[in-house]
Amino acid sequence: MNPFQGVIPAITTPFLPDGGVDHATLAAHARWLLAAGCTGLVPLGSLGEGATLAWEEKLAVIRTCVQAAEGRPVLPGIAALATAEAAALARAAQAAGAQGLMVLPPYVYLGDWAELQAHLDAVFTATPLPCLLYNNPVAYKVDVLPEQIAELAAKYPNLLAVKESSTDARRIAGIRALIGDRLSLGVGVDDCLMEATVMGASFWIAGLVNAFPRESVELFNLTRAGKLDQAFRLYAWFLPLLRLDTVPKFVQLIKLVQQELGWGHERVRAPRAVLVGAEREAALALLRQALAARP
């Protein structure tokens, strides 16, 4: 079964005042997202601040999400500085109940294609779980090209999907031209949702869904159903908020929006810091404007 379908939140990680993970809020938030029509959860991604979590914290987050999801797919991000650590995390995630993996390139070191292949090989073969390749050259400075994706698809039967976050709307069509329907293709950039879905994306690993799940699911479903006039009206309203997902402080911005809507807290883990001053006020003004015009 391919778990990479529909709207899948890149769920945020809530923190307690002492800096620890707030598992009660995490579980409640996960249940709310799923009840609104989301199809699964992606913890430990960039938005989930996975890079700032210790090993045991990561596994505890996965376990909390698995329990809250009640059988719906939990697909944690697998990223590390070292290949051996990434493969070990994949195995530990499976033991914690994950039903699939979102696999990132290695952090920091920007190797050549042979080195990246070796890293991905170690993670894809660490477990039999379905895998999603996360291509985000903007954040991780590694761009897996359509030809390289086709090469990986031919080699790894458990590679079932690609989360395409290059911000290049042509990529979905380019990958499909090479591999047809061999992989599910998904969008990972919130403000490219309609463009990618019209070209064949079958899932959305979303950010603002953490605060607006009903609107996110409706937008995705309308676009997939070809009801483009209705979808565009909703998209036009949503776009100013969706663009918060595409800037360096996207974690702080999305958590602030969640807090204002009663779902979580804006606390982040250092080196991030909560928004203050004019930056914070601008985000709140944008949110107020959107809520006033909410469809």
Active site members:
134, 163
DSSP character at residue 105: P
Quote the Cα angle for 253-204-47, to 5°: 30
**132 in Cβ contact with 4 (< 8 Å):** yes
Count helices and strands (H / E) in the chain: 12, 7
What residue type is assigned to position 262 of the chain? G
The Cα diameter of the chain in Å comes to 52
The two beta strands, 184-187 and 159-164, are parallel
Residue 220, φ and ψ in degrees, nearest 5: -65, -45
CB atoms within 10 A of CB 43: 28
Cα dist from 270 to 53, 166, 242, 251, whole Å: 11, 26, 24, 12
Q: What is the DSSP string of 4-26?
A: --EEEEB----B-TTSSB-HHHH
What residue type is assigned to position 63 of the chain? R
Residue 206, φ and ψ in degrees, nearest 5: -110, 160
CB atoms within 10 A of CB 200: 14
